[in-house]
Amino acid sequence: MDNYTALAIDLGIVLILFAGIWLFRSPRSARAGNLSAALAILCALTAVFYRHEILEPRIVLITLAAGSLIGSIVAMRVTMLQIPSMVAFQHGAGGVAAFLISTVELTRGAELAAVAHASGLLGLVIGAATFSGSMIAGGKLSNRIKQTPVFLPFHNGVLVLLATAIILLCALSWNAPEYGATYVAGVVILSIVLGVVFSIRIGGADMPVLISFLNATAGLAAAFCGIIIQNRLLIVCGATVAASGSILTHVMCKAMNRNLANIFTGIKQPQNRGAAAVSEAIAEPAPLDDAPPQDPWNTAIEALRSARFVIFVPGYGMALAQAQFKVVELSRMLESGGAEVKFAIHPIAGRMPGHMNVLLAEADLPYDRLVEMDAINPEFARADSVVVVGACDVVNPAANTAEGTPIYGMPILEAHKARRVMVCNMDTRPGYSGVNNTLYANPNTLLLLGNAAETIERLIEGLKK
Does residue 437 sit in the same domain as residue 354? yes
Catalytic residue among 2, 295, 368, 393: 393
Rounded distance between C-alpha atoms, residue 351 and residue 142, angstroms: 10
Q: Are residues 403 and 449 in the same domain?
A: yes
Annotated active-site residue 393? The verdict is: yes
Asked whether residue 114 falls in the same domain as residue 238, the answer is yes
Do 314 and 392 reside in the same domain of the chain?
A: yes
The mean pLDDT of 16-30, rounded to a whole number, is 85
How sure is the predictor about 290, in pLDDT bands with cuts at 50, 70 and 90?
very low
Report the CATH number that the domain containing residue 387 is assigned in CATH: 3.40.50.1220
Q: What is the pLDDT of residue 271?
A: 38
Do the domain assignments include residue 52? no
Same domain, 304 and 408: yes
**Is residue 247 domain-shared with residue 295, that is, in the same domain?**
no
Last residue of a domain, one of 237, 265, 293: 265
Q: Are residues 438 and 402 in the same domain?
A: yes
Query: Quick one: average pLDDT of 106-110?
Result: 81
pLDDT tens for 337-357 read 999 999 999 988 877 778 888
Look at the chain and report how many structural domains it folds into: 2
User: CB–CB of 95/135 below 8 Å?
Assistant: no
From 241, 265, 289, give the residue that closes a domain: 265
pLDDT grade, residue 266 (50/70/90)? low
**Residue span of the structural domain in which 109 resides:** 81-265
Q: In three state form, how does the secondary structure of 359-426 look?
A: HHHHCCCCHHHEEEHHHHHHHHHHCCEEEEECCCHHHCHHHHCCCCCCCCCCCCCCHHHCCCEEEECC
For 1-39, the three-class secondary structure string (H helix, E strand, C coil) is: CCHHHHHHHHHHHHHHHHHHHHHCCCCCCHHHHHHHHHH
What's the whole-number mean pLDDT along residues 260-266? Answer: 74
3-state secondary structure of 341: strand
311 and 432 fall within a common domain: yes
Lowest mean pLDDT among 216-220, 222-226, 243-247, 291-295: 291-295
Provide the whole-model pTM. Answer: 0.79
Question: Which amino acid is present at 86?
Answer: M
Residue 59 located in a structural domain: no
% of the chain exceeding 70 in pLDDT? 92
Do 328 and 232 have their domain in common? no
- Residue 195 is predicted with a pLDDT of 94
Would you say residue 75 lies in a domain?
no
Decide if 128 is inside a domain: yes
Region of poorest pLDDT, from 29-33, 92-96, 203-207, 209-213: 203-207
Position 428 in a domain: yes
Higher pLDDT, 262 or 372: 372
Q: Would you call 81 exposed, middle or buried from its count of C-beta atoms within 10 A (0-12, 13-18, 19+)?
A: buried
Residues 341 and 368 occupy one common structural domain: yes
d(CA 459, CA 312): 14
CB-neighbour burial class of residue 297 (10 A; exposed 0-12, middle 13-18, buried 19+)? middle
Q: CA–CA separation, 196 vs 206, rounded Å? A: 16
Whether 311 and 422 map to the same domain: the answer is yes
* Other Cβ atoms within 10 Å of 13 Cβ, number: 22
DSSP state at residue 203: -
Contact 225, 101 (CB under 8 A): yes
Mean pLDDT throughout 440-455? 92
Domain assignment present for residue 445? The answer is yes
Q: Hey, how many other C-beta atoms are within 10 angstroms of the C-beta on 279?
A: 18
Say if 343 falls within a structural domain: yes
Whether residue 65 lies inside any domain: the answer is no
Bigger pLDDT: 447 vs 257: 447
366 plus 431 within the same structural domain: yes
Q: Which of 201, 235, 265 is a domain's end point? A: 265
